[in-house]
Structures are given as structure tokens and as C-alpha cells.
Amino acid sequence: MKTSTVSRGLELYLSDARARVDAVLARWGESLDGLWPPPVPAAVRYSLLSEGKRLRPTLVFACHEAVGGGGAAAAVAELAAAVEVVHAYSLVHDDLPCMDNDDLRRGRPTTHRAFDVPTATRAGFHMVALAARVLAVGLATLAPDSERRRAIALELFRAAGAGGMIGGQALDLEAEGVRAPVAALEEIHRRKTGALIAASCVIGGLAGGAAPSACAALRGYGADLGLAFQICDDILDATASSVQLGKTAGKDAALAKSTFVSVLGVGDARAEAERLAARAVDRLRQAGLASPTLVELAHYVVTRPN
């Protein structure tokens, strides 16, 4: 990958977004012992509070600001945290032996290695319900009308379901050992990775009272950014070390997965990621959404080192 050139402004924005979300996650983490028998609460806390980019919640914040959403900062942080809970759950299950069978995530043992497979499996399932709790608190604080409340909830859980992450993961498993064409890879990863990133953008817009046309532009931006993110993940898996990534490098090749790198090569894959990032930004321009932060985030996604 190219060397990341994150501006000081974006660096501070990412740090602030991470701190806001982590504060919400930590507060919820303290309440888990009363919800489930041990060791599930400890496994959920382990999964939620690990180091991470917090890209998806950052997009919630940035899209909320892009449409002029004001006030209700605590509510938006809860909505952003709900998105992160869903993402964290997906990582726990993605790492299981029946899926990618990985030992390392975010620079430390995966949840099923730190605990055990049954505990990690239960923790992931419970995190879906936890996301609904966190979302409900955010919606109660935000107090949108019933139509917008419903739309926000549907965005999150449709992205997590069969039409999104779960469906994408199923297609990804089916594609192991098969040379999939680019169109099939796009279908897999627009669901597995892109759906939740796009939903993050739309949730931020809906929380800020965006009009349907603005939400459509944010959805297009998020969908393109999500696919660009996955392409860059494929490049990093093939070119970076496990130390750099904080997870096992070369895993795609070990599992005989078709990736954008194996199909296109590193150079063409990188060019496609950059094309998608540029198109994502152009969608914002065409909709009249002026957001330097979203522009910088698009650049960050295709230049990040891990």
C-alpha cells in the first residue's frame, strides 16, 4: 500500500471518535455481569474493548455532521457504539475455527483463543442483542419520529443479516478453493464488508435529519468505501506482516480464497480501490454534501497501513 498521509486534523478526528465510542462501550461493559452467566460477560468485554480503528462509528459521526445534524451528541455516540458492537460480534464469529480459524485479532489472541470456542460463540450471539439495547438507548435519547426510528434500526440489522454480513460470510465460505470472478467477489464483499459501512453512513445521516436524497448519496459513498476497504484488506493480507496488521497475514492464500489480489494482481487491485474511493467522494459532491472529513476518510481507507 502507499504510505498513509493522514492529516493532523483527521488524526485528531479519528482519536476523538474512538474516545467517544470507547467511553460508551466501557460503560456498557460494566453492566454485562448482570445479563449473562460467566465467562460470557468477560468475553464480550474482551471483544468490545480491544484496540480497533472504529471506522464505522467514525463514519456515523462524520455523516451526521455532513448533513448538518446538531445536538444530541450522546445519542449519536450510542448509535455509533451500536454499530461497533455489531462489527465486533462479526469479528468474533469470523475468527472461529468453523469460519476463518484465526488466532490473532487486533494484535492479541482472538476471543475463542483467549476463552474457548463455545464461550466465543455465545458471546457473539449475545452481542447482537446487546447492539439492540445500545441502539434503543440512543434512539430514546435522540427521540426521532417513529418512521425515522424504524429506518435507523432497519439499517443496522439488515446490514447485519442475510442480505448483508451474514449472507456475505456464507458466500465467502462457499468461495474457498474456487477461483471466483471479480463480479462474484464484489457481491461477497459488498455484503460482508460494505453493507455495515454503508449502513453506518446512512444511520449518521438519518440521525441528523437528512433528506432521502442525501441519505442515498451517503449510502452510495459508504458502499463504494466499503468495497475499497475490502480490496485494501486483500492487498494488505498479501503484502504486510502479521505485526503490521495485528492479525495473521497471508490467511487468504492459506485458505485458498479468491481475493481481489489473486484475481487482479496488486497493482490493478490498488487502482480499483482508488477508483472506488474517488467515486465515493464524487457522490458527495454531486449531492452537494461538503464534508472535508468524509473526503479525508476516503483517502485514509485506501492508504492505511493496517
Asked if residue 5 has pLDDT above 70, the reply is no
The mean per-residue pLDDT over the stretch 17-46 comes to: 96
Contacts of 211 (CB under 8 A, 6+ apart): none
In Å, how far from its chain's centre is CA 206? 18
Asked if residue 141 has pLDDT above 50, the reply is yes
Tens-digit pLDDT profile for residues 74-129: 999 999 999 999 999 999 999 999 998 899 998 899 999 999 999 999 999 999 99
Residues 201/59, Cβ–Cβ less than 8 Å? yes
Q: How confident is the model at residue 4 (pLDDT cuts 50, 70, 90)?
A: low
CA 256 – CA 174 distance, rounded (Å): 11
* Residue linked to cell 448482570: 34
Angle at 305 between CA 299 and CA 306, to 5 degrees: 110
Tens-digit pLDDT profile for residues 152-175: 999 999 999 999 999 999 998 888
Residue 48 three-state SS: helix
For residue 104, give the H/E element and its range.
Answer: strand 104-105
Q: How confident is the model at residue 258 (pLDDT cuts 50, 70, 90)?
A: confident
Query: Which stretch of 5-19, 163-177, 239-253 has the lowest confidence by average pLDDT?
Result: 239-253
Does the predicted model carry a pTM greater than 0.85? yes
The mean per-residue pLDDT over the stretch 260-282 comes to: 96
Written as nine digits, the cell of 52 is 480497533
- Residue 152: CB atoms within 10 A of its CB come to 23
Q: How confident is the model at residue 216 (pLDDT cuts 50, 70, 90)?
A: very high
Q: How much of the chain, in percent, has pLDDT values that exceed 70?
A: 96
Query: Which pLDDT does position 1 carry in this prediction?
Result: 44
Tens-digit pLDDT profile for residues 180-200: 889 999 999 999 999 999 999
Residue 71 three-state SS: coil
Q: Which domains does the chain have, with CATH numbers?
A: 8-303 (1.10.600.10)
CA 270 – CA 231 distance, rounded (Å): 7
Q: How much of the chain, in percent, has pLDDT values that exceed 90?
A: 81
Query: Which pLDDT does position 176 carry in this prediction?
Result: 81
- What average pLDDT does the structure give for the chain? 93
CA 233 – CA 253 distance, rounded (Å): 13
Q: How many CA atoms lie within 13 A of 220 on its CB side?
A: 17
CB neighbour burial string for 287-299, b if at least 16 within 10 angstroms, e if fewer: bebebebbbbbbb
